[in-house]
A and B are shown apart, each in its own frame.
Chain A
Amino acid sequence: MTQQDQNMSSWSLTAPGIHGEPVPMRDWSREEVDVCVVGAGAGGGVVGAKLAEAGFSVVILDAGPHWDPMNDFISDEHASSKLYWTDERITGGDNPVELGTNNSGRGVGGSTVHYSMIALRAHPDHFRRRTIEGAVENTDHRDWPLAFDDLEPYYEEVEEALQIAGPTFYPWGKPRRRRYPQREHELSASANVLVRGCAKLGIPVAPSPIATLSAPHEDRPPCVYRGFCNFGCTTNAKSSILVTYIPRAIRAGAEVRGNAMVARITHDSRGRATGVLHFRKGSDELFQQRAKSVIVAGYAIESPRLLLNSSSSLFPQGLANSSGIVGKYFMVQSSEQVFAKFPERINQYKAPPPGGAITEHFNRTMPGVGFVGGYTIEVIGPHPVDFVAKMAAGRGLWGAELRREMFDYNHFSALGMVGTVMPNRKNEVKLHETERDRYGLPVPHVIFSYHENDKRLIKHSIAKMKEIFEAAGGTDVWSDHRTSHLLGCCRMGDDPADSVVNADCRAHDVPNLFICDGSVFPNSTGVNPSLTIQALAARTADRITDMARRGELW
């Protein structure tokens, strides 16, 4: 980018700042930018901000609004559904995935606005699962085309940027080279239950690293333990992308354009991406954003959907899909939840839902359990609307019995797990044949069924969580099925016939197209994916910078 290009755009726009004040922002809508990022969440926010800081002209688009954390976030469960992607998606398969709540975000910041902030690194073994675990029937899990060591500096970079609050010594994964930037949080009642139960059973348990400040940082205060983390943080203590990387991007001259739903990626006759066409709120018209390169970061449903919706005579199967596997190998993470009643007041509405304790003891391939992969056990803290839905579904409870049981809401404690799920070609995101959304675009049709291995892992985890609760003195133990996170569909690999992007997240088929979110995961890890997505995005930004400077991109 030349200085002249920079001068063409003006700082004529404003964006909501994190303290409710408007901040000036560049307007790139009439220019051809270096980079157009689709999606302002964990992947897009990081890669966009870093590229803007590297001096490129950047536009970051998001389908939802640009949130003003001081005024838009409501301290109420029901009113916070606006943070979710609530456009219709059709869900099927043997184990249809519930979408639209915990696993989706709409708006600048993406799902990091309402995620539970658990900031774990994947283990070195997670990147070489195929090598370690061998072939498993009816699945196709792969080693990653990059190793933990490639990501380690980026994990450190992102942890620093988000000021992760974690323990002095974290017992799992590769030993850390640097301490967490901030200290762990105080344990909540639910976390005490986990620690108590684990201690009794001899299961190692540790403070959990989470992306919430435990001490002031710059102009953001530490967490006040409101407990509404899943409904948007009104204090800015939570290190979402919205309050960390997005302000950096805007300061560095990027335009962050909310309410911009991208319909398709355009390309020229040589098959190189030329920009995107997107809708703007309140208009049926398609706007064009010209760009020298496009980064798709819409998460594992919207990213493949966009590629499939961008089919053309040159790319009849969809953009970057000569392999035919865009949309295939869709994964979630199993996320079973177990509840128990205690004589003490637990008050699960308080403190960040992860509570402050975690065990990754079962996050490894264990001998003699009959499955490969592993899971992490975490604390959760549902508020009443969420909780009653789980209780009604998990126990089939209704009527007077349900209402009376809810009187004990404050005495329940809850654990959740995050488990690996095997990639399976039959699990996929495709375009629905007939259903169209409000923009007239085909809606995603999501097919998901658990593999036998996944079911055995789930069974094992529920038994362990129940054991922990019983050891801690819990009664009336019950569980509810749930999934979290969306992974796969544009998996990374070295072989263009068998993957969509390479280790740099660059599409094999379209040299100036990148995909930078959970959809590139070739297998799942036993930890929450956000930190890995962010680290991958940070690395991708550096790779793009290198390639662009060498003249390999545009």
Chain B
Amino acid sequence: MTPIEFLGLYPFQWLAIITAGTAFFLMIDALVGHYRRAFAYRMQYAPVVTGTALVVAALLAAGFPDLPLLNQLLSWAGWLAAATGLVGFAYHFYYGIVTKPGGLKWILHYLMYGAPIFAPLGLTAAGVLGIITAHGLAGEHAVFGLVMPIALFLFVAIALAGAIAQAGILHYRGAFNNPAMYAPLTVPSLAMIAGVWMALAPSTVARAAFAVLLWMTLLVGFIGFGMHLRGLDREMGGLYLWHVNLLEGPPQGAPGLFIAWAAIGLVGMYLL
């Protein structure tokens, strides 16, 4: 396994950049969503802080891959973000569903309108990615007892599952008013399956299928950006009332997750 350089950067540098990008989009989403709730709990600042820390640490680690201190910093930031995500998940479940009027009996309502239940796990995923990246930058070939590409493929599969679940809930809330809203449920689901396949029983067929599906997932993400912007414009007042429609319309950063998770798979596949 020889790392392949791409556009002058080594694969784990790319992963560090992807980590930063993911954390950035998640942080923006948390900022917007928590602002919508007027930062009613102090904990709502946590993902903004740890997300920003992860962005900075990942960019530094990408820029100076040979500095062990920065590598260590990325690892710490990764653990911090991962922990924040887990706590956030508990908070989203408890304050976003359990303690709401009607509580768990209204779970279907609060999955749609309470705090987005899987969103904090996105931050956890970004954190884990940071940790994996830190190990990779340190020249290790395995992480959590798995060889690098396998670890990445499994990571992609799990991360995609979360993104698909959250997109599924919110697109259901939007009544799939545009058929394109099914795209992030179908293509990435297949990519997820192919990812597990590649991790457990790699073969040429699995590799080809996974590659195609990852590229398609990447495309879904890019198209998603455009569609979400269009969705914002379809709200009352459109871009003129962007300051409310940013809060009420489709989450503008969310499709970025599909791009990030797919890109990780592609890095694992082509560069490692």
* Interface residues in chain A, defined as those with a beta carbon under 8 Å from any beta carbon in chain B: 165, 167-169, 181-184, 186-187, 192-193, 195-196, 199, 205, 207, 214-217, 221-222, 224, 235, 237
Closest to B106 in A: A195
Closest to B176 in A: A215
* B222 is an interface residue with CB less than 8 A from chain A: no
| 23 A–B pairs (Cβ distance < 8 Å), ordered by A | A181-B175, A182-B175, A182-B177, A183-B173, A183-B174, A183-B175, A184-B109, A184-B112, A195-B102, A195-B106, A196-B101, A196-B102, A199-B103, A215-B173, A215-B175, A215-B177, A216-B177, A216-B235, A217-B177, A222-B236, A222-B248, A224-B244, A237-B236
Contact A224 B174 (CB under 8 A): no
Contact A222 B235 (CB under 8 A): yes
* B95 is an interface residue with CB less than 8 A from chain A: no
Contact B177 A168 (CB under 8 A): no
* B39 is an interface residue with CB less than 8 A from chain A: no
Chain A residues, Cβ within 8 Å of B108:
167-169
Contact B101 A221 (CB under 8 A): no
| Extra contacts besides A169-B108, A195-B106, A205-B102 (13): CB < 8 Å | A167-B108, A167-B109, A181-B175, A183-B112, A183-B172, A199-B101, A199-B102, A199-B105, A216-B177, A216-B231, A221-B236, A222-B236, A222-B248
Chain A residues, Cβ within 8 Å of B101:
187, 192-193, 195-196, 199
* B141 is an interface residue with CB less than 8 A from chain A: no
Contact A214 B236 (CB under 8 A): no
Closest to A197 in B: B101
A207 to B236: give the CA distance in the assembly, Å. 23
Chain B residues, Cβ within 8 Å of A195:
101-102, 106
A280 to B5: give the CA distance in the assembly, Å. 80
Chain B residues, Cβ within 8 Å of A222:
235-236, 248
A167 to B236: give the CA distance in the assembly, Å. 23
* Interface residues in chain B, defined as those with a beta carbon under 8 Å from any beta carbon in chain A: 100-103, 105-106, 108-109, 112-113, 172-175, 177, 231, 234-237, 244, 248
Contact A216 B102 (CB under 8 A): no
Chain B residues, Cβ within 8 Å of A205:
102
A169 to B108: give the CA distance in the assembly, Å. 9
- Within the complex, the shortest CB–CB distance from A227 to chain B, in Å, comes to 13
Q: Which of A169, A181, A207 has the most CB of B within 10 A?
A: A207
Contact A224 B248 (CB under 8 A): yes
- Within the complex, the shortest CB–CB distance from A316 to chain B, in Å, comes to 54
Contact A187 B109 (CB under 8 A): yes
Chain A residues, Cβ within 8 Å of B237:
224
Chain A residues, Cβ within 8 Å of B102:
195-196, 199, 205
Closest to A237 in B: B236
Q: Which of A214, A216, A235 contacts B173 (CB 8 A)?
A: A214
Q: Which of B100, B105, B177, B231 has the most CB of A within 10 A?
A: B177
Q: Which of B103, B172, B235 has the most CB of A within 10 A?
A: B235
Q: Which of A186, A199, A235 contacts B236 (CB 8 A)?
A: A235
Closest to A191 in B: B101
- Within the complex, the shortest CB–CB distance from B181 to chain A, in Å, comes to 9
Closest to B248 in A: A224
A89 to B100: give the CA distance in the assembly, Å. 47
A187 to B175: give the CA distance in the assembly, Å. 17
A181 to B174: give the CA distance in the assembly, Å. 10
Chain A residues, Cβ within 8 Å of B248:
222, 224
Closest to B181 in A: A215
Chain B residues, Cβ within 8 Å of A169:
108
Chain B residues, Cβ within 8 Å of A182:
175, 177
With A167-B109, A195-B106, A199-B103 as known contacts, state yes or no: A224 contacts B175, CB within 8 Å.
no
A468 to B234: give the CA distance in the assembly, Å. 38
Closest to A235 in B: B236
With A187-B101, A195-B102, A199-B102 as known contacts, state yes or no: A224 contacts B109, CB within 8 Å.
no
Pairs A-B, 7 closest by C-beta atoms? A195-B101, A196-B101, A221-B236, A216-B234, A182-B175, A186-B113, A215-B174
A187 to B112: give the CA distance in the assembly, Å. 11
Contact B105 A207 (CB under 8 A): no
A181 to B172: give the CA distance in the assembly, Å. 11
Chain B residues, Cβ within 8 Å of A216:
177, 231, 234-235
Chain B residues, Cβ within 8 Å of A221:
234-236
Chain B residues, Cβ within 8 Å of A181:
175
A347 to B87: give the CA distance in the assembly, Å. 32
Chain B residues, Cβ within 8 Å of A192:
100-101
Chain B residues, Cβ within 8 Å of A217:
177
Chain B residues, Cβ within 8 Å of A186:
113
Chain B residues, Cβ within 8 Å of A167:
108-109
Chain A residues, Cβ within 8 Å of B236:
221-222, 224, 235, 237
Chain B residues, Cβ within 8 Å of A214:
173-175
- Within the complex, the shortest CB–CB distance from A552 to chain B, in Å, comes to 40
Contact B109 A207 (CB under 8 A): yes
A248 to B252: give the CA distance in the assembly, Å. 34
Closest to A168 in B: B108
A217 to B244: give the CA distance in the assembly, Å. 19
- Within the complex, the shortest CB–CB distance from A241 to chain B, in Å, comes to 20
With A168-B108, A195-B102 as known contacts, state yes or no: A224 contacts B235, CB within 8 Å.
yes
A195 to B106: give the CA distance in the assembly, Å. 10
Closest to A205 in B: B102
Closest to B112 in A: A183
Closest to B114 in A: A186
A183 to B102: give the CA distance in the assembly, Å. 18
- Within the complex, the shortest CB–CB distance from A130 to chain B, in Å, comes to 36
A167 to B110: give the CA distance in the assembly, Å. 12
A237 to B108: give the CA distance in the assembly, Å. 23
- Within the complex, the shortest CB–CB distance from B244 to chain A, in Å, comes to 7
Chain A residues, Cβ within 8 Å of B109:
167, 184, 187, 207
A184 to B110: give the CA distance in the assembly, Å. 11
- Within the complex, the shortest CB–CB distance from A472 to chain B, in Å, comes to 8
- Within the complex, the shortest CB–CB distance from B101 to chain A, in Å, comes to 4
Chain A residues, Cβ within 8 Å of B173:
183, 214-215
